[in-house]
Amino acid sequence: MTETVLANNPLLDFSGLPKFNQVKAEHVTPAIDNLLSEARNIVETLSTATEAPTWQNFAHPLEDIEEKIARAWSQVSHMNSVVNSPALREAYNDNLPKLTAFYADLSQDERLYAKFRLLHSSPDYQSLNTAQRKIIENELRDFRLGGAELADDKKARFKEIQEELSQLSAKFEENLLDTTNDFSLLIEDINVLKGVPEDVIQAAAEAAKQDNNTGYKITLHYPSYMPVVQYADNRELREKLYRAYATRASEFGKPEWDNTQLIKDILKLRQEAAHLLGYKNYTELSLTTKMANGQQQVTEFLNTLGKSAKPFAQADMQELKEFAANKLDLPKLAAWDIAYVSEKLREEKYAFSDQEVKQYFPEEQVLHGLFKVTETIFGVHVKKSKAPVWHSDASFYEITDTNGKPVGQFYLDLYARNNKRGGAWMDEAITRRKKSHGVETPVAFLTCNFSAPIGNKPALFTHDEAITMFHEFGHGLHHMLTKVDEYGVSGIKGVEWDAVELPSQFMENFCWEWEVLRHMTKHVETGAHLPRELFDKMVAAKNFQAGMQTVRQIEFSLFDIRLHGDFNPNGKETALDLIEQVRDEVAVVRPPKWNRFPNNFSHIFAGGYAAGYYSYKWAEVLSADAYSLFEETGVLSQETGRRFWSEILAQGGSRPALESFIAFRGREPSIDALLRHNGMTN
């Protein structure tokens, strides 16, 4: 590999922001090979050094090389998610096993493990700061979980399992993306789309036009799919789309995109890994790094929440059935009717529609409202800036403190498009860390999948999408507003998985405050702010079907925790059998037998939520309770905002999340605020 090739490789330039305008698929392999070679040399030097290990001569240089690899790979991984192409996918898949193997080797290196143990028991340990001590404790735990204490033959098998799992998870996500991209429905007759909002029809016409077709192109991407099943009067069309969506990546499609066998293989490998480490099952292994105290506590938590929610969910369902039969001539509700009938019922009950509200949420105004909240409670300033991006949809911003000093920066990529993974997420581009030249400014990726602007009209968000925007920004703030200078526990690093959603769900609450919405709305045509009357209807409708939504989340959470717990992946029972059993216990909406939800449950098979999906509800308790202090002191209270920053956001993973929560709230979390926020108190 020539020096010139490496010198000109943008993935190896760590002097500033990523050079997305230069990164190409052919840069990936040389960059990763170079970094891994450098990393192995450093590991060898550190593990064979004869002097006593200290933070400076051992832990710090190890973090240096890990940070470089993470920065380079985050760019590759991000582009693979947002501008996927055959060449990029190939480069990603070629290098993923190398990285997995490197980290598996690292976590099993007995020499490094011994050095961390020495460092932990040395007199120097007590002189280290809290963050450094926490990193060393986490390292010791992760060496155990990485198989460092296993016999050589078991180590080799454990490493094989990690490599296989990373490839299977990537394949699971690819199959889902390919199936989603592959489906489209071309509708010639506009009458078939009766009831569908005008801007959705316009977007469908644009999509058809881009394919050199007349008519209207409907896809399974959420901004296209959801409004059709929610608004289309044509029941046959709703069924066709629902069936396609609910059977993605299953045996009903192309065999090469079927995730059924992948699910079995992933579960078997996870269980084998857990057994090798001495755990009863994967759930037990997964929970060792979380706030929750084991499967029993998680199950009890979900059951307690379920007991409160189930009567409300049953009442929601009964109301829906009666409305469908009496008002819409639908005596028997099918799965593809739920969203449609719910929207009709909501319009009748509260006299407004999502579509009406959407006209008040143009993109620029929503962002203005989000930044205003952030600026008010945290005393920072958010402004648009410039940086190379991967697609014309993406933009770049920076957050500065009262003195104009950079605190954090972030990229925004808001619109759905082909070759972009569905959903919404935050990821780390650069993590805050103190270096010889000063403190590295943290940089985040914030990605959503909303409808793009059409013609000269700006992108319009539904209220739910505005909430999603606040949610992801909350994750971003957790990453960007950290005040921890040590890489391993800076920002969201080292934060227990079931506490990671606290800042994101906390931020959602502001979307229900009049003094916030007043400023973040402006009608796309008249320029008028959201009328108070409409806002009051939205608040009245806030907990519409909260019971149904809660038991649905509990269904997914129980399925996940049991799938990785008591379920035997080598037995006759399938994942589908298990979800049906869970539904028998908690569900009020029963999907058809051909629904293949597990096949597209990427959160747990490709997204890091395995035996951790309950975290959404767990963290919702934390976030609702944290927000209740703002309700007591004033929702835009600067004093409470600064306290939230200093005790929760600033701390990163430098101390247990429960300690941070208690430091902020003055007590342990209580479930009461969540039930009250969801209207589930009698």
Closest CA to 510 of 669, 303, 370: 370
Given this model, what pLDDT does residue 163 score? 95
Average pLDDT, the chain: 96
Of 509, 541, 576, which residue constitutes the final position of a domain? 509
pLDDT (mean) for 107-134: 96
Alpha helices for 570-614 (secondary structure H): 575-586, 602-605
Full DSSP string of 485-522: -SGGGSTTTT--GGGTTHHHHHHHGGGG-HHHHTTS--
List of residues 6+ apart from 44 with CB closer than 8 A: none
Regarding predicted confidence, which is higher, 30 or 355?
Answer: 30
Residue 39, H or E segment: helix 25-48
280 DSSP assignment: S
The residue range of the domain holding 236 is 183-248
Q: How far apart are CA 572 and CA 575, in angstroms?
A: 10
Q: How far apart are CA 604 and CA 215, in angstroms?
A: 38
| Domain-located, residue 336 | no
List of residues 6+ apart from 615 with CB closer than 8 A: 290, 497, 498, 499, 500, 501, 609
| Domain-located, residue 561 | no
361 DSSP assignment: -
**CATH code for the domain of 59:** 1.10.1370.40
- Measured in degrees and rounded to the nearest 5, phi and psi for residue 56 equal -70, -40
pLDDT value at 1 more than 60: no
| Domain-located, residue 417 | yes
Q: How far apart are CA 75 and CA 22, in angstroms?
A: 12
| Domain-located, residue 467 | yes
Q: Are 295 and 302 a contacting pair, CB within 8 Å?
A: no
Residues 112 and 70 in one domain: yes
pLDDT value at 329 more than 60: yes
Residues 40 and 143 in one domain: yes
Residues 412 and 497 in one domain: yes
Segment among 21-30, 238-247, 524-533, 668-677 with least mean pLDDT: 668-677
Q: How far apart are CA 548 and CA 346, in angstroms?
A: 14
Return the percentage of the chain with pLDDT > 70, whole number. 99
Q: Is 219 helix (H, G, I), strand (E, B) or coil?
A: strand
Residues 143 and 198 in one domain: no
Full DSSP string of 299-322: HHHHHHHHHHHHHHHHHHHHHHHH
Amino acid at the residue 143: F
Model confidence at 566, pLDDT cuts 50, 70, 90, reads very high
Please give the structure tokens belonging to residue 299: 């199950």
| Domain-located, residue 265 | no
Q: Are 440 and 474 a contacting pair, CB within 8 Å?
A: no
472 belongs to the catalytic site: yes
**pLDDT digits 0-9 by tens, 121-157:** 999 899 999 999 999 999 999 999 999 999 999 999 9
**pLDDT digits 0-9 by tens, 165-182:** 999 999 999 999 999 999
List of residues 6+ apart from 670 with CB closer than 8 A: 621, 625
pTM of the model: 0.91
Structural domain total, the chain: 3
| Domain-located, residue 583 | no
**pLDDT digits 0-9 by tens, 282-305:** 999 999 999 999 999 999 999 999
Given this model, what pLDDT does residue 681 score? 82
Given this model, what pLDDT does residue 682 score? 66
The active-site residue out of 174, 472, 486, 501 is 472
Residues 98 and 235 in one domain: no
Count CB atoms within 10 A of the CB of residue 600. 22
Count CB atoms within 10 A of the CB of residue 409. 21
Of 456, 490, 509, which residue constitutes the final position of a domain? 509
Q: How far apart are CA 547 and CA 536, in angstroms?
A: 21
**pLDDT digits 0-9 by tens, 225-274:** 999 999 999 999 999 999 999 999 999 999 999 999 999 999 999 999 99
pLDDT value at 551 more than 90: yes
